Structure 1
Amino acid sequence: MKGFVITHLGKRCKIGSDDSFATMICSLVIQRNEFILEGGNMSGARIGSWQRIREGLDVEIEVAEFDDVSEDCYTLIDPEYNNIIEEKDELLEWNWKLEKFREIEKILKEENLL
């Protein structure tokens, strides 16, 4: 079967499929200092890692052909990750609010209500 071999935090996980699909998403959200790794297949092998970006964070993803998938991959949620979720970037939030305000203001002006 074809799929992904992920080596992360000293662990190796094989996610693949003969008859369906395997997915892998790896994201760096720079403004939130966030690293996300998620993957899985229809047979149940799953991997998930949510962490702060930091020096030494090492992930190897290889597209390969292999005979068996990992039965038990892993999920890691860095304790610091909860802080990332709770932190809000005030500038982004204010910019979003300003954008919504301007959209509403434009509609109100078009309808001669303002």
Structure 2
Amino acid sequence: MSTLSALPFSLQTIGLLVASNVFMTMAWYGHLKNLATAPWYLAALVSWGIALAEYLLQVPANRIGFREAGFSVGQLKIMQEVITLSVFVPFAVLYLKEPLKLDYLWAALCMVGAVYFIFRNG
């Protein structure tokens, strides 16, 4: 039995979404640092390659979450957005050296509200 299959389906979904978001964030924003002087089409090709890895994690995450864990599509989307923000902020601050702004806190509070409303009725 693999380690992943020993986890509850909800944790499998969350773990795969976190991993996919790491790749997604790198695909969308990593080229701003790594390929800053490269032509845009080269950055796009590299990003597409990274995005393939993201999709190879995101698609099973959503399938497991929907079919096995019983999440609704809305719940999966809000979960993905919260994870995206949770991955993006440290990436922007630590990797891209962007300043940490209070706006990230306000955005996070809005996401807490979104989580509440999408999960409140099951």
**TM-score, normalised relative to structure 1:** 0.25
Higher relative helix content: 2
Higher relative strand content: 1
Higher relative contact order, chain-length normalized (CA < 8 Å, sep 6+): 2
**Which has the higher Rg, Structure 1 or Structure 2?**
1
**TM-score, normalised relative to structure 2:** 0.24
